[in-house]
Amino acid sequence: MVRLVGATFATGAFGTYATEQDVRQLLLGYDLSALGGEAAVTERIQRLLPQTKAALDRAANRDFELHEGDSLTVDGTGHSWLFLFRYGRAPVLRVNSLVVNGEAVDSSRYVVYDREGYLRLVDNQADFFANPAGGPSPAFPKGAQNVTVSLDWGYVLVPDDIVLAQAKLVGAELLTEAGGGLSGGVESQQIGDYKVTYGTQGAYAGVIARWLDDVRRTVGEHRRLGLATL
C-alpha cells in the first residue's frame, strides 16, 4: 500500500519546458510566411507550448519539474532498500527526513542514491532496523503505512533533450501548416496520445518525420514505468 502526499505533476512556469525562442531558433531558415506575420507565428507557438508540454509529460509518464517538500508514505517490506523511483520520485535532490514506525531516523543511518532514486539502510543499531531474516543487514520492518519519506526531487533545470524535444514537436506542427498542410498522402505519428498529421508531399515532410522520430526516441529514454504495487 502506498499513500502519495503532495506528489502533483503540475505544470511549470508558463506550462512549458521550451520557450518561444527555442522554437524560433529551431525554425531559422524555414519559410513560415504561410502562417501569417510575426504576430500570428507567436500566437500559434504560444498556443502549442502548453499542449505539447502536457503531451510530453503524459507520454513519459512523468514530468521534468522541481518538486520540493514532497512526502511519500509506504508499507515497510522487510528489505533494506526503499525504491523511491518506483513511485515517480527521481532524481532525488534531498531527503529531508525518514520516519519509521513513528521514529525519526538519523541521516547517518541511510544512504541516498540520488540519480537512481532510492535509499538504503546502513545501520541496524535501532530495534526497528532488525533484519527479520536474522542477517546482518538492517531492514525496514514490515507494516502498513509505517515508512514516511519527506524529500525534494525532480529537476532544477529541465534536461536539454526534453527542451529540444518539445521545440521539435511544436516545430513539426508549424512546418505542417507552413509547408502545404495535408497535401499529397497523409501520414500520422503518435507521441503517446498526441497525434501529429502531415502531408507526405508537403515541403517539409522529411524534416517533420525526422523531428517526430527524435521526439519519440527522447520520450522513450525518459519514460517511467507505472507505480509500484508493493
Confidence of residue 123 (pLDDT cuts 50, 70, 90): confident
For residue 180 the three cell numbers come to 502545404
Count of alpha carbons within 13 angstroms of residue 37, beta-carbon side: 1
Residue 147 lies in a domain: yes
Residue 228 lies in a domain: no
Residue 137 lies in a domain: yes
Per-residue pLDDT tens over the stretch 132-186: 655 667 899 999 999 999 999 999 999 999 999 999 999 999 999 998 767 667 8
Q: Do 93 and 130 reside in the same domain of the chain?
A: yes
Residue 230 lies in a domain: no
Report whether pLDDT(13) > 70.
no
Residue 19 lies in a domain: yes
Q: Do 166 and 89 reside in the same domain of the chain?
A: no
- Number of folded domains in the chain? 2
Torsion of CA 16, 21, 27, 31, to 10 degrees: 120
Give the pTM. Answer: 0.81
Q: Do 183 and 145 reside in the same domain of the chain?
A: no
- Range in 2-16, 77-91, 199-213 the model is least confident about: 2-16
Across the range 99-120, mean pLDDT stands at 94
Which residues touch 201 (CB under 8 Å, ≥6 apart)?
180, 183, 184, 185
Share of the chain above pLDDT 70, in %: 84
Q: Do 163 and 107 reside in the same domain of the chain?
A: no
Which of 154, 182, 200 finishes a domain?
A: 154
Which of 110, 129, 154 finishes a domain?
A: 154
Q: ∠101-103-107 over CA atoms, to 5°?
A: 115
Report whether pLDDT(203) > 80.
yes
Q: Do 162 and 150 reside in the same domain of the chain?
A: no
Task: Say what the pLDDT of residue 134 is.
Answer: 59
Range of the domain at 131: 66-154
Q: Do 83 and 130 reside in the same domain of the chain?
A: yes
Residue 22 lies in a domain: yes
Residue 90 lies in a domain: yes
Report whether pLDDT(14) > 70.
no
Residue 25 lies in a domain: yes
Report whether pLDDT(131) > 70.
no
Which of 154, 183, 203 finishes a domain?
A: 154
Q: Do 110 and 147 reside in the same domain of the chain?
A: yes
Q: Do 76 and 144 reside in the same domain of the chain?
A: yes
Confidence of residue 8 (pLDDT cuts 50, 70, 90): very low
Q: Do 99 and 121 reside in the same domain of the chain?
A: yes
Q: Do 72 and 148 reside in the same domain of the chain?
A: yes
Q: Do 178 and 206 reside in the same domain of the chain?
A: yes
Q: Do 175 and 205 reside in the same domain of the chain?
A: yes
Report whether pLDDT(5) > 60.
no
Q: Are 35 and 177 in contact (CB under 8 A)?
A: yes
